[in-house]
Structure 1
């Protein structure tokens, strides 16, 4: 089943969120320390990923193009509005809490090599091992994020199902469209661009910056397109 890994990933996030709700009573100072720990860990992960590039110019240009496209279509605002819409339906007592949890967790779970590689493996080979491993990681991250950001983390399962599911379905046909060498190069630059975005998420969680990471997401598409064009050329 092509979508099995993605479905398990979504279920793990939901389960982690439900467990995290039980930990919401921990002291505020502890929540802040935990959030800072996550931020520091994301800085390390993002740095490791970003250094894997074979062509930093592609990564730089993809981020610039992504920023221009994201700002033009106001992608961050769309994420925020979706979170606020969910907030109204759920009836949160803390204004903006669900939106913040939804946006932050969605970006953490979506931006990364495992999401792309795992979904590609599911579609091309029917192998869900990468997404199973990602599910375990995301489940634990969801527990911690929920304990600090609240129930909004639960709704991040929706973009995960849509994003990874779409890649997995596309991957069933990708071997006929994209040669292995081009695919490997695309994944390398996607990983590097995603790593810089994860660095930004970490800085935001630490309260150092307020970067609109969602507006950079089109950069992933730009990185893939430029890498493919360069390989063909």
Structure 2
């Protein structure tokens, strides 16, 4: 069942290792590539953000998630972890490890394929969606790691754990979550993930300095809100 998820994680890891070895790029070219990548990330975020149907759920999810994230100081903790990893990796760790880790993890895990792929793998033995996602993530990891550094490599770990968990719980999800509710969850989760990805693009362009890691609880909160809202209507 985990074949597709393993291939996806390995593609991210290998591509990011190749990406960090792309060096000696002129500063002007590197800056322009970074700006182009940031703009592409912003467009992806906008496309994902408009898939949601319940804007109040999105607002509530972001607000509650932000409060929880700030209380837990997730951003500070990840930055400390990134600094520690950067120290251990020494000269090979160009860039901000924590920023690269959080940004790439969201980009790889926030889309609908990260949910539908594992479900297809577990319920139908069809890994084609995850193989497609692996090729997309691999190319993205190559580009992102060439500019943000080795932190992208570590994104393979939470992506694997996230998709593996969905795969292993697929039968329970299929038994207890109706197709209609699953569609709503995917739509709102993709929407809030798109907003976070949009924030990543703005941060990379130095337009904003949003603590994106502190917004990560929003992804869990929005799922709970969708389920609660549907149960209330029923």
Instruction: Assess same fold via TM > 0.5.
Output: yes
Q: What is the aligned residue count?
A: 232
Partner residue in 1 for 2:132: 133
Q: Give the Å deviation of 1:103.
A: 2.8
For 1:121 and 1:198, locate their aligned partners in 2 and report how far apart those are by CA, in whole Å. Answer: 25
Equivalent pair of 2:92/2:150 in contact (CA under 8 Å): no
For 1:124 and 1:193, locate their aligned partners in 2 and report how far apart those are by CA, in whole Å. Answer: 26
SS at match of 1:175: helix
Equivalent pair of 1:113/1:191 in contact (CA under 8 Å): yes
Structure 1 unaligned residues grouped into runs of 5+: none
Say yes or no: does 1:186 pair with 2:185: yes
Partner residue in 1 for 2:223: 224
For 2:171 and 2:84, locate their aligned partners in 1 and report how far apart those are by CA, in whole Å. Answer: 34
SS at match of 1:91: helix
Partner residue in 2 for 1:168: 167
Partner residue in 2 for 1:42: 41
For 2:230 and 2:130, locate their aligned partners in 1 and report how far apart those are by CA, in whole Å. Answer: 28
Partner residue in 1 for 2:208: 209
CA-based RMSD = 1.8
Say yes or no: does 1:124 pair with 2:88: no
Measured against aligned partners, the alpha-carbon deviations of 1:14-56 in whole angstroms (never above 9, x if no partner) come to 1211221332221121111111111111111111111111111
Equivalent pair of 2:45/2:197 in contact (CA under 8 Å): yes
Q: Give the Å deviation of 1:192.
A: 0.9
- Taking structure 1 as the reference length, the TM-score comes to 0.92
Equivalent pair of 1:92/1:98 in contact (CA under 8 Å): no
Partner residue in 2 for 1:151: 150
- Taking structure 2 as the reference length, the TM-score comes to 0.91
Q: Give the Å deviation of 1:85.
A: 2.6
Q: Give the Å deviation of 1:93.
A: 6.3
Q: Give the Å deviation of 1:67.
A: 0.6
Aligned positions of 1:46-65 closer than 5 A: 46-65=45-64
For 2:68 and 2:204, locate their aligned partners in 1 and report how far apart those are by CA, in whole Å. Answer: 24
For 2:118 and 2:49, locate their aligned partners in 1 and report how far apart those are by CA, in whole Å. Answer: 20
Q: Give the Å deviation of 1:126.
A: 2.7
